[in-house]
Amino acid sequence: MKKVLAKAYLYLLLAMLYAPLIFIAVFSFTESRVLGNWTGFSTKLYANLFTGGMNGGSSLLAAVENTLIIALISAAIATVLGTIAAIGIFNLKGRKKAGMQFLNNIPMINPDIITGVSLFLLFVFLGITQGYVTVVLAHITFCTPYVVLSVLPKLSQMNPNIYEAALDLGATPSQALRKVLIPELRPGMISGFILAFTMSLDDFAVTFFTRGTIGLETLSTYIYADARKGGLTPELRPLMTIIFLIVLILLVVMNIRRQKANQSK
């Protein structure tokens, strides 16, 4: 009885959480411009999305492209910067270590709008024209802390002597780095990269404040502008459905990875 009630509660909450997403997914398979008006099954919206055959279609595709490129570049740089930083922080001691960890926490605690406004003021103050580069820099800023936090636990799980052993056995520092350190840290780096990538994809507020006035649109800013004009472009429905599926697949893959990692421990 208790179990039935508990399950019912969970499923009720899940139904609430997923109702809007499922609703969007269902109505991505009909042609109607108005949401909630079923005019028969059709994949026309999907076709429109991929061929750009719609009003302002190329700008939506461009926004998706921008979003992906920005997320890839930011996540890649954040992974390199964050991994090097994690190795450094791990080898720090006492107050310096606590200080670095405190700094690392700031971008995670700050709401997006604070990060966005503060970086906006920075670029204004330094007289840097805002655009692609400033958006990427801003994304690196809020992504890197997650990489650091993903890599740090791998460093504490690792046997510290194997790196020294490699050096003693005649490996150059760069060989020891490539052959010993990086393979040990790789799972943390991958988790960190995926986390940074999704954080960047998700972002709206920070991009909004740092993209300047050159008309750079990411998916979020495109949706924002679109919704303010009144009514969503119907082609956003298939796009949301696809993103929803990609996230689902990514999470399943990561969960399987984690379970494997737990088993091998």
Partner 1 sequence: MIKRSYWSLPYLIFMVVFVVLPLVLIVLYAFQDGSGHFTLSNIARFFTDSDSLQTFALSIEVAIENTLICILLGYPAAWILANRKLNRSAVTVMLFIMPMWINALMRTLATAELFNMFGITLGKGTLLFGMVYDYIPFMIYPIYNILMKMDNSYAEAAEDLGATPWKVFWKITVPLSMPGVMSGVLMVFMPTVSTFAISEFLTNNKIKLFGTIIQENINSSMWNYGAALAFIMLLIIGITSLFNDNKDSQAEGGLI
Binders of partner 1 in range 88-107 (CB under 8 A): 88-89, 91-93, 96, 100, 102-107
126: amino acid identity, one letter:
L
Tally Cβ neighbours within 10 Å of residue 36. Answer: 9
- Position 261 contacts partner 1 (CB under 8 A): no
- Position 17 contacts partner 1 (CB under 8 A): yes
In terms of Cα–Cα distance, which of 168, 191, 183 is closest to 256? 191
- Identity of the residue, 16 or 214, whose beta carbon is nearer to partner 1 in the bound complex: 16
Of 66, 191, 200, 233, which one interacts with partner 1 (CB under 8 A)? 191
The answer to whether 63 and 221 are in contact (CB under 8 A) is: yes
Question: Least Å distance between CB 93 and partner 1?
Answer: 8
* Cα–Cα distance measured from residue 237 to residue 241, given in angstroms and rounded to the nearest whole number: 6
In terms of Cα–Cα distance, which of 247, 246, 242, 248 is closest to 43? 242
Question: Least Å distance between CB 55 and partner 1?
Answer: 18
* Cα–Cα distance measured from residue 133 to residue 65, given in angstroms and rounded to the nearest whole number: 15
- Position 143 contacts partner 1 (CB under 8 A): no
Contacts of 203 (CB under 8 A, 6+ apart): 112, 139, 142, 218, 220
Contacts of 246 (CB under 8 A, 6+ apart): none
The answer to whether 217 and 66 are in contact (CB under 8 A) is: yes
Residues of span 222-241 touching partner 1 by CB under 8 A: 223-224, 227-228, 232, 240
Of 195, 196, 206, 216, which one interacts with partner 1 (CB under 8 A)? 195
- Position 165 contacts partner 1 (CB under 8 A): no
Question: Least Å distance between CB 51 and partner 1?
Answer: 22
Question: Least Å distance between CB 47 and partner 1?
Answer: 21
- Position 249 contacts partner 1 (CB under 8 A): no
* Cα–Cα distance measured from residue 78 to residue 141, given in angstroms and rounded to the nearest whole number: 8
- Position 50 contacts partner 1 (CB under 8 A): no
- Position 164 contacts partner 1 (CB under 8 A): no
- Identity of the residue, 48 or 78, whose beta carbon is nearer to partner 1 in the bound complex: 78
